A and B are shown apart, each in its own frame.
Chain A
Amino acid sequence: MSTQEDIAVSYDVSNEFFALWLDRRMNYSCALFEGTDDLEQAQVNKLRYFHDGARVDPGKRVLDVGCGWGANIEFLARDMGVADLTGITLSKAQFAAIEAKQIPGVKVECVSYKDYQPERPFDAAISIGMFEHIATPEEARAGKHIAIYRDYFRRVWSWTTPGSWFGLQSVIGDRVPRNPTDLREIAHATYTIFPGAITPRLEAIIASTNPYWEILEVKTRREHYEKTAAEWLRRLRSHETEIRERWGDRYEEYERYLAACVMAFAKGYQSLVQMLLRRVD
């Protein structure tokens, strides 16, 4: 999986930097543009989809694996009235940002999923945009990724109560590009922005859920991520002067990365999956 140093490259750039181009809740993942063209609403749609899909209600104890800056757990706590929430992240900057918010009912830990041990089991789990960090490109090339993904699903299973639901969102690899220019742009994003991470193929995720989780729903949202990334890129460009002044070459790096994202989703090199899983008991 991505190391804490890898994670720092991806997420510990600066919370203020990401705040300039993400939505106001700081969702660094695909939004759900259903019935809206507005990124803010589309991100709420995504959070609502997982609230409903993971059968979350105010009385349940909920885990968010790879909780980012806390968009999902804050939504569940403040908007949906959930009183017992735990988020885990490996990013020190994200951990500190959530701690500073002092959200009622929310506990956050800066820990790898491989080392995590909950005090008590959860009634529901959600993981948005973390699966890409579970296996490294080297592990995938060596054919070890499915065993690693299966071990992840086993762990989440072991942290939950019978009957629990698990909402999962991940970028997935789809068509493999052959065009050298496209390949170079995607490689830049993979190795420079997200070192240690790789997008799984959908069939690899499906193969690895067994024997722990039953797949109840699979939705692919390629166009939604193209739209999300295009809006991030538009916002980034609208802050070009400030970003160049405060973060220098970071502007070029992220403009290139976000443009590559738009291209990769538009051409079908990458897609996005949302899955609703139920624990096999």
Chain B
Amino acid sequence: MNDTEIHSLIGEAVAFAEPRLKGASLKPEDTIAELGINSIAVLEIVGYLEDKLGVRFPDDELAQLNTIGGLSDLIRGHDVAAQPAQKS
């Protein structure tokens, strides 16, 4: 995935978990706390991304997700295109 695709997917995921943020301009440095996204919504975002990408991110990397850029790094760091889809 290129950066534009990743950014677009994160926007979708954020809007899914927090509808009030639909269409919001999200920047990599935006913190999850500043956006008013609580810890439950963060994991809903992660679940949405996993469903769309057909991957499962390592649980230990989720505890310190603090920024929108962190979500991008999570996707890039796991080379999602190289993983087999989890669903059939």
A residues sitting closer than 8 Å to B (CB atoms) are: 137, 140-143, 173-180, 183-184, 187, 201, 203
**The 10 A-B residue pairs with the shortest CB-CB distance in the complex, in nearest-first order:** A178-B47, A176-B59, A183-B40, A176-B62, A143-B64, A178-B43, A180-B44, A183-B43, A187-B40, A201-B60
Contact A141 B63 (CB under 8 A): yes
Interface membership of B83, Cβ < 8 A: no
Query: Can you name 11 A-B residue pairings with CB atoms under 8 Å?
Result: A143-B64, A173-B59, A176-B46, A177-B43, A179-B47, A180-B40, A184-B40, A201-B59, A201-B60, A201-B63, A203-B60
Interface membership of B72, Cβ < 8 A: no
User: Once bound together, how far apart are the Cα atoms of A157 and B33, in whole Å?
Assistant: 37
Contact B47 A174 (CB under 8 A): no
> What is the size category of the interface that chain B forms with chain A?
10 to 19
User: Once bound together, how far apart are the Cα atoms of A200 and B74, in whole Å?
Assistant: 21
Contact check: which of B44, B50, B63 meets A140 at CB < 8 Å?
B63
Which residue of chain B has the shortest Cβ distance to A191 in the bound complex?
Answer: B39
B interface, by DSSP: helix, strand, loop or mixed? helix
Contact B44 A183 (CB under 8 A): yes
User: Once bound together, how far apart are the Cα atoms of A203 and B39, in whole Å?
Assistant: 21
Which residue of chain B has the shortest Cβ distance to A174 in the bound complex?
Answer: B59
Which residue of chain B has the shortest Cβ distance to A178 in the bound complex?
Answer: B47
Chain A nearest Cβ from B51, distance in angstroms: 9
CB-CB under 8 A from A177, the residues of chain B are 43
User: Once bound together, how far apart are the Cα atoms of A142 and B39, in whole Å?
Assistant: 13
CB-CB under 8 A from A174, the residues of chain B are 59
User: Once bound together, how far apart are the Cα atoms of A203 and B58, in whole Å?
Assistant: 13
CB-CB under 8 A from B40, the residues of chain A are 180, 183-184, 187
Contact A176 B64 (CB under 8 A): no
User: Once bound together, how far apart are the Cα atoms of A173 and B66, in whole Å?
Assistant: 19
Given contacts A201-B60, A203-B60, are A176 and B43 in contact (CB under 8 A)? Answer: yes
CB interface residues, B 35-50, toward A, < 8 Å: 39-40, 43-44, 46-47, 50
CB-CB under 8 A from A180, the residues of chain B are 40, 44
Contact B60 A178 (CB under 8 A): no
CB-CB under 8 A from B62, the residues of chain A are 176
CB-CB under 8 A from A143, the residues of chain B are 64
Which residue of chain B has the shortest Cβ distance to A179 in the bound complex?
Answer: B47
Given A143-B64, A178-B43, A178-B50, 5 new contacts (CB under 8 A) = A137-B39, A142-B64, A177-B43, A183-B40, A201-B63
Contact B63 A187 (CB under 8 A): no
Contact B44 A178 (CB under 8 A): yes
Given contacts A183-B40, A187-B39, are A178 and B46 in contact (CB under 8 A)? Answer: yes
CB interface residues, B 55-70, toward A, < 8 Å: 59-60, 62-64, 66
Q: Which of A176, A179, A184 gathers most chain B CB within 10 Å?
A: A176
CB-CB under 8 A from A183, the residues of chain B are 40, 43-44
